[in-house]
């Protein structure tokens, strides 16, 4: 058979040169083909999407820049000109900018909170950069010395030559930042304690933690704020009066602590039982086991959740305006009722300014949490 | 340790140092227990007598309150709710007594050598003893704290001349509410009735908000997963913008910037017979005649029939493998039956429903159905804000289903629709539902921000009641109780649903 078979053998001596991929699948055009115009439905969606984006962007550019009014003394600058409505009334924000930043803080004392911001940034930035050295000292300064400095600078100390600025004069972004940062600093340790309490083997402590957490999570923040501003004075002896700014702080901190506790509990539950057993086998006490083994792993797991709670807390500080504090939202809202600046676009401008300010803080925090999550994601890297 | 082994240890003669250690433990436990018990009892009794006269008088008043509330609903509901609070507070010493009995039992067990330990060990270094000790400490400290607060409150209320109690809810409210649904409310109704209107408004707002937010959220979530780059970035931008600005600000924007500048009634925007102006949205109001009940009955029959068909089809498919187009049949039954009934009723008895159209009279519209601008602003703000969060949840849920599931489903020969319905969605829902629940609860709680633009929800109405009557304690207690019950009820329902969905996984 082999002799009969005429074997036609054909083979190449060398490899064919590789062909370039068809131009329609590479480069910008290929990408657009795949992601934007793969079929008629996709093409339609692309055009609808582009049209929506165009509507938003063109409106925003026109309103905020092209037809906006940047300078002016009073409402006359921002009234419709020749029957044509003008855009954003930035002159209003400009005129009130100082008030938006610090409420009624005396103008000659403004350097005090500016200095505080500067020190805060100097202490905070190295703490946020993972590679920066001296983390322990840094944290000690930020959480130990800084609050003291903040109190001295913001409230004042006549013995040091700093006149007292009553908290009723605080407001604007300053007050928002004070409430948010105190809330953040108190709620995290408190939340960790309640999370540990909820996972505790001791039935009474566990029960009390559950009641605390579920109570605060079950009621809206606004009722908590009403409670802290109306009921807290009733709870205290007659001769003790709590400052008007401290009252909502108590409410905000406890409220955030309950949410924090649930986030931390999620992390604690994700730690394998072997870790607990190993720590106990090493003879560690409860607090050492938690502090050295469990919490570092658990907190690392829930960083996104913690930052989300911080973001929520930061946004929720705006609610104190409802109980009559002049935080950033409250002071803008009260400035809007000024007839001197009453124009059709004042409110929209002020809200745009507010939205941008809040958005910058919250978006910054969320980006940082994504960065930290990637940075700490060491266990499963391949 | 087995019983025999323990008995052997018991019978062994005790060394003197072991005996001393045992005695030391006993003294320590007794001293600790007695001191915290005395401290607690002192606190509890003071708490109880200083605040509420007597337990039995309270209980009697409470039972009477329930009976009178059942007989006379007018405002009685909240009087009754308030009494529950009082009753829970009054029986607090009873809970404490149970606690102390339990603690005594645990200490006794600890003393009975259930845990082996060296004789010389200091009990303060024993894990179990420390547990009991810290619990007693925490509980007693908490009780003392509550006693201190209650005492202060009672003293302060005395000083201000405001006796606590929920009886003021029967007083005449004297203020009008601009959205009253389901109940009759006038200015002469009671505070309790006003609060009830507030609760209903909160529920209506939350419910419509939840429905709308779910729709928006699912659209946004699916858009974010789209292969179309423009669409997915558009959804991402939506999420990042609305998630990172305060809800209160968004409410103000919708109310002050979007809805207030709408034209007045005379220049209303018209969409069919719906009129939109700065006083609200006016729509035709359907008025149902008695014949409408036939349509409703047809609808119910349709639902029941499709349920029966679904069960039968499921069983037949399990037995024979032959599928049945359940969805089509169900749609035909649920919507077809009422429509046919409607036509039949219209033929023989005249139309079962006619509309009351809004008419422009003078400066405003009369008749029809009015949706107040406060409601529209709240609804838009709540659903758009929560929709951003739900969108992220939906995206995460769908992404959590491994791609292998899609491939497996397609290789089994399922169509894309079947794959989505039978494979992807059930698995995604299991991931989606728990966070979705908490978003629904958030929306409900956030509806309390209505107070900022005076939409008459529970908090806004309660705020007026609080200011008029001066009963802060009681109004805040009602707020918290109502929101807590809504939260607990929702999470109970969602836990049940979650458990049901979990069965999909074997």
Going from N- to C-terminal start, the domains of chain B cover: 12-160, 191-284+357-502, 292-349
Closest chain A residue by Cα to residue B258: A348
Exposed / middle / buried, residue B101 (Cβ in 10 Å: 0-12, 13-18, 19+): exposed
Nearest Cβ partner for A208 among B138, B244, B253: B138
From A227, which residue of chain B is nearest by alpha-carbon distance? Answer: B476
**In chain B, what residues touch A333 (CB-CB under 8 Å)?**
252
pLDDT of residue B79: 59
Q: Which residues of B touch A215 (CB under 8 A)?
A: 480, 484
* Dist CA A235 CA B155 (whole Å): 9
Please give the torsion angle defined by the CA atoms of residues B298, B300, B303 and B309, in that order, rounded to the nearest 10 degrees: -70
Contact between B245 and A223 using a beta-carbon 8 Å cutoff: no
Between CA B120 and CA B126 the distance in angstroms is 11
* Rounded distance between C-alpha atoms, residue B250 and residue A329, angstroms: 11
Nearest to A234 among B153, B230, B466 (CB): B153
The count of CB pairs under 8 A between chains A and B is 154
Backbone phi, then psi, for B280, in 5-degree steps?
Answer: 135, -170
The answer to whether B246 contacts A46, with C-beta atoms less than 8 Å apart, is no
pLDDT of residue B296: 87
Distance CA A149, CA A156 (A): 10
Contact B76, B192 (CB under 8 A): yes
Give Dmax (Cα) for chain B.
104
Determine the pLDDT at residue A165.
85
CA atoms of B108 and B104, how far apart (whole Å): 6
Taking CB atoms within 8 Å and a gap of at least 24, the contacts of A351-354 are A351/B249, A351/B252, A351/B253, A351/B256, A351/B257, A352/A63, A352/A64, A352/A88, A353/A93, A353/A100, A354/A328, A354/A329, A354/B245, A354/B249
Of residues B134, B249, B261, nearest to A351 (C-beta) = B249
In a domain, A121, yes or no: no
Chain A hits for B256, Cβ within 8 Å: 336, 347, 351
- Total Cβ atoms within 10 A of residue B418: 14
What does the pLDDT read at residue B307? 92
**Is A24 domain-assigned?**
no
Tokens of A107: 């103008």
Q: Which of A262, A297, A292, A269 is nearest to A279 (CA)?
A: A292
Residue A253 lies in a domain: yes
Residue A271 tokens read as 């730690």
List of chain B residues with pLDDT < 70: 1-16, 18, 36-37, 39-94, 113-124, 164, 498, 501-506
Q: Does A38 touch chain B (CB under 8 A)?
A: yes
Element containing residue B80 per DSSP (H, E):
helix B76-90
**Are B174 and B467 within 8 A, CB to CB?**
no
Strand partners, B355: B286
Across the interface, of B253, B257, B448, the residue whose CB is closest to A223 is: B448
Q: Return per-residue pLDDT of chain A as tens, 382 residues.
A: 455 566 677 778 888 888 887 767 777 888 887 777 778 888 898 999 999 999 999 999 998 888 888 888 888 888 887 777 788 888 888 888 988 998 888 888 888 889 999 999 999 888 888 888 888 888 888 888 888 888 888 888 888 888 888 888 888 999 999 999 999 889 999 999 999 999 888 888 888 898 899 889 889 999 999 988 888 888 888 777 788 888 888 899 999 999 999 999 988 988 899 999 999 999 898 899 999 999 988 988 888 889 889 999 999 999 999 988 899 999 999 998 888 888 888 889 999 999 999 999 999 999 998 888 888 776 554 4
- Out of 1.10.760.10, 3.30.530.50, 3.40.50.970, 1.10.3720.10, select the CATH number for domain B191-284+357-502: 1.10.3720.10
Give pLDDT, residue A2.
Answer: 53
Q: Count up the domains in chain A and report the number.
A: 1
Distances (CA, A) of A141 to A190, A350, B458, B495: 20, 37, 45, 45
- The CB-based long-range contact list for A274-280 (8 Å cut-off, 24+ gap) reads none
CB-based contact B483 A220, cutoff 8 Å = yes
Show residues of chain B in contact with A316, CB under 8 Å.
246
List CB contacts of B178: < 8 A, sequence separation 6 or more: B372, B374, B456
In a domain, A69, yes or no: no
Instruction: Tell me the nearest-neighbour CA distance from A258 into chain B, angstroms.
Output: 14
Dist. CA A257–CA A196, nearest whole Å: 12
Residues of A in contact with B248 (CB under 8 A): 318-319, 321-322, 329
Cα–Cα distance between B407 and A216 in angstroms, integer? 45
The whole-number pLDDT of residue A379 equals 58
Measuring CA to CA, how many Å separate A73 from each of A65, A86, A97, A276, B153?
19, 16, 13, 67, 51
- Nearest Cα residue in chain B from A329: B249
CA distance B221 to B244: 17
Window 191-250 of B, Cβ < 8 Å to A:
226-231, 234, 240-241, 243-249
Tokens for A53? 């984006």
**Which structural domain range is residue A215 located in?**
93-105+165-376
Q: What is the pLDDT of residue A378?
A: 63
Q: What is the pLDDT of residue B505?
A: 46
* Domain contains A250: yes
Instruction: List Cα–Cα distances, A25 to A29, B232, B494, in angstroms.
Output: 7, 21, 47
Q: Which residue has the tokens 């409900």?
A: B444
**Chain position carrying tokens 């109940």:** B183
Residue A18, number of CB atoms within 10 A of its CB:
6
Do A201 and B131 count as a contact with CB atoms less than 8 A apart?
Answer: yes
How many C-alpha atoms does A31 have within 13 Å on its Cβ side?
4
Query: Which residue carries 């550019």 as its tokens?
Result: A61
pLDDT for A382 equals 42
The rounded distance, in Å, linking the Cα atoms of B434 and B393 is 10
- Whether residues B156 and A234 touch (CB distance < 8 A) is answered with yes
CB-based contact A317:A183 (threshold 8 Å): yes
Q: What is the Cα–Cα distance from B212 to B388, expressed in whole angstroms? A: 12
Closest CA–CA distance from residue B261 to any residue of chain A (Å):
8
Q: What is the CATH number of the domain that holds A252?
A: 1.10.3720.10
Name B445's Cβ contacts closer than 8 Å, sequence gap at least 6: A219, A220, A221, B483, B487
Chain B residue closest in CA terms to A42: B228
């Amino acid at each position: 058979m082999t002799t009969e078979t005429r074997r036609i053998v054909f083979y190449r001596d060398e490899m064919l040169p590789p062909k370039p991929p068809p131009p329609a699948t590479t480069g910008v055009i290929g990408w657009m083909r795949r992601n934007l115009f793969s079929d008629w439905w996709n093409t339609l969606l692309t055009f609808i999407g582009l049209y929506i984006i165009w509507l938003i962007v063109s409106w925003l550019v026109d309103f905020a820049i092209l037809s906006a009014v940047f300078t002016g003394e009073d409402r006359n600058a921002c009234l419709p000109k020749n029957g044509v409505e003008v855009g954003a009334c930035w002159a209003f924000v400009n005129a009130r900018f100082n008030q938006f930043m610090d409420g009624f803080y005396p103008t000659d004392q403004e350097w005090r909170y500016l200095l505080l911001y500067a020190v805060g940034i100097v202490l905070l930035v190295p703490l946020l950069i993972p590679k920066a050295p001296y983390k322990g000292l840094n944290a000690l300064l930020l959480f130990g010395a800084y609050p003291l400095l903040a109190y001295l600078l913001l409230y004042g100390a006549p013995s040091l030559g700093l006149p007292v600025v009553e908290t009723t004069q605080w407001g604007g972004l300053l007050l928002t930042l004070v409430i948010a940062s105190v809330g953040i600093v108190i709620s995290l340790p408190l939340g960790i304690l309640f999370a540990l309490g909820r996972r505790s083997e001791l039935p009474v402590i566990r029960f009390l933690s559950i009641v605390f957490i579920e109570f605060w999570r079950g009621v809206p923040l606004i009722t908590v704020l009403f409670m802290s501003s109306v009921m807290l004075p009733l709870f205290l002896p007659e001769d003790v009066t709590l400052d008007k700014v401290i009252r909502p702080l108590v409410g905000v901190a406890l409220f955030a602590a309950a949410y924090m506790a649930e986030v931390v509990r999620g992390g604690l539950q994700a730690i394998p039982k072997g870790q607990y057993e190993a720590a106990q086998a090493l003879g560690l006490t409860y607090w050492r086991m938690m502090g050295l083994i469990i919490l570092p792993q658990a907190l690392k797991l829930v960083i996104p959740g913690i930052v989300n709670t911080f973001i929520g807390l930061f946004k929720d500080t705006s609610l104190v305006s409802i109980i009559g504090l002049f935080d950033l939202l409250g002071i803008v809202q009260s400035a809007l009722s000024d007839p001197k600046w009453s124009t059709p676009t004042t409110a929209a401008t002020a809200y745009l300014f507010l939205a941008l300010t809040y958005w910058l803080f919250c978006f910054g925090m969320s980006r940082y949490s994504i960065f930290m999550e990637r940075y700490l994601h060491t266990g499963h890297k391949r | 340790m087995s019983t025999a082994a323990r008995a052997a240890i018991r019978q062994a003669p005790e060394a003197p140092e072991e005996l001393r250690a045992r005695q030391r433990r006993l003294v320590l436990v007794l001293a600790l227990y007695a001191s915290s018990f005395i401290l607690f009892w002192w606190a509890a009794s003071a708490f109880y007598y200083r605040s509420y006269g007597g337990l039995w008088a309270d209980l009697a008043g409470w039972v009477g309150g329930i009976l009178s509330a059942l007989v006379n609903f007018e405002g009685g509901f909240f009087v009754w709710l308030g009494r529950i609070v009082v009753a829970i507070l009054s029986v607090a010493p009873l809970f404490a007594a149970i606690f102390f009995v339990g603690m005594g039992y645990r200490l006794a067990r600890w003393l009975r050598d259930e845990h082996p330990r060296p004789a010389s060990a200091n009990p303060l270094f024993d894990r179990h003893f420390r547990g009991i000790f810290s619990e007693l400490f925490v509980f007693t400290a908490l009780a003392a704290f509550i006693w201190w607060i209650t005492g202060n409150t009672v003293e302060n209320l005395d000083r201000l001349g405001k006796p606590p109690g929920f009886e003021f809810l029967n007083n005449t409210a004297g203020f009008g509410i601009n959205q009253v649904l389901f109940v009759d409310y006038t200015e002469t109704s009671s505070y309790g009735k006003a609060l009830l209107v507030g609760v209903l408004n909160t529920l209506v707002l939350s419910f419509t908000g939840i429905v709308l937010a779910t729709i928006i959220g699912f659209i946004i979530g699916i858009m974010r997963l789209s292969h179309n780059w423009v669409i997915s970035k558009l959804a991402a931008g939506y999420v990042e913008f609305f998630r990172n600005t305060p809800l209160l600000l968004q409410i103000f924007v919708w109310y002050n910037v979007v809805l207030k500048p709408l034209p007045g009634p005379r220049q209303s925007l018209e969409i069919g017979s719906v009129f939109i102006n700065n006083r609200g949205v006016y729509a035709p109001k359907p008025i149902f005649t008695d014949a409408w009940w036939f349509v409703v009955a047809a609808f119910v029959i349709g639902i029941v029939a499709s349920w029966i068909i679904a069960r039968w089809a499921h069983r037949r498919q399990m037995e024979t493998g032959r599928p049945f187009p359940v969805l089509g049949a169900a749609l035909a039954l649920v919507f077809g039956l009422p429509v046919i009934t409607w036509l039949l009723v219209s033929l023989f008895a005249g139309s079962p429903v006619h509309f009351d159209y809004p008419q422009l009279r003078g400066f405003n519209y009369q008749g029809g159905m009015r949706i107040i601008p406060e409601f529209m602003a709240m609804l838009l703000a709540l659903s758009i804000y929560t929709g951003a969060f739900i969108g992220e949840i939906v995206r995460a849920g769908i992404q959590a289903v491994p791609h292998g599931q899609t491939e497996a489903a397609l290789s089994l020969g399922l169509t894309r629709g079947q794959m989505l319905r039978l494979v992807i969605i059930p698995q995604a829902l299991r991931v989606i539902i728990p966070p979705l629940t908490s978003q629904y609860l958030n929306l409900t709680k956030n509806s309390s921000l209505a107070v900022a633009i005076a939409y008459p929800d529970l908090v806004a109405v309660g705020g007026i009641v609080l200011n008029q009557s001066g009963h802060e304690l009681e109004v805040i207690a009602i707020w918290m109780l109502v929101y807590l019950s809504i939260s607990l009820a929702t999470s109970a329902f969602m836990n049940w649903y979650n458990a049901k969905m979990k069965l999909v996984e074997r």
